[in-house]
Amino acid sequence: MLIAIPDLIDAATVARIRAIIDGAAWVDGNVTSGPQSALAKRNEQLPEESAAAREAGALVLDALSASPLFVAAALPLKVFPPLFNRYAGGQAFGLHVDNAIRIRRGTDFRIRSDLSATLFLDDPASYDGGELIIEDQFGPQSVKLPAGHMILYPASSLHRVTPVTRGVRTASFFWLQSMVRDDAARRTLFELDQAVQEVAATHGQGDATVVKLTGVYHNLLRRWADA
């Protein structure tokens, strides 16, 4: 399930993040790559434990916790601290799949990567290329969103970033472990949640049908959730 989260962060927060990260020291993006990804990856990245990455990442985490759409779509249990990368001068990331387990360097923090996320931090008109291509059941999906918008997609998906031939593409990226491991079950819960909200908007939260549907949602969540 691919879910776009529009306006996860506003223009002012995008500017704050960019002020933090743009002047920081960037390194080869392969510092977080597995052996297969390293063959396909050409970009720059903020060191994951750098002060800039931690400060900017905290702003992203605050925005995630304040987004009902993100919470409904992801049902997050654990979120890997957000990372930041950028592409320019023809840099790209070839077709790959994300590691199933992500471990924060130097700690015992680890997650099963159920979902991957990319938060765009540049105006798409300011650069050419840089599309995130995600292979899903309906074929390749091309994603290039406005600054402050985020795409959420299964970490099991093959995906790539096309070469950036003009300008710079800057983004935050991270993984999360959902309370519901199965993507089809998460999709069902998300669609049911959205339907309940639509009915509630018309008939009110106290409507008997809304109450019953809410009960169905939570009973399914109890059946499928790991936590």
pLDDT digits (tens, 9 = 90+) for 42-97: 999 999 999 999 999 999 999 999 999 999 999 999 999 999 999 999 999 999 99
Token pair listed for 144: 């290039």
Q: Is the pTM of this model over 0.85?
A: yes
For domain 183-224, is the CATH number 2.60.120?
no
What pLDDT digit, counting tens, does each position of 82-101 carry?
999 999 999 999 999 999 99
Tens digit of each residue's pLDDT (9 = 90 or more) over 165-192: 999 999 999 999 999 999 999 999 999 9
Backbone angles phi, psi at 218, to 5 degrees: -70, -30
Packing angle between helix 208-224 and helix 183-203, nearest 10 degrees? Answer: 160
The pLDDT > 90 percentage for the chain reads 89
> Quick one: how many helices (H) and strands (E) in the chain?
6, 16
94 three-class SS: strand
CATH class of 3-178: mainly beta
**Domain spans of the chain, in order of start:** 3-178, 183-224
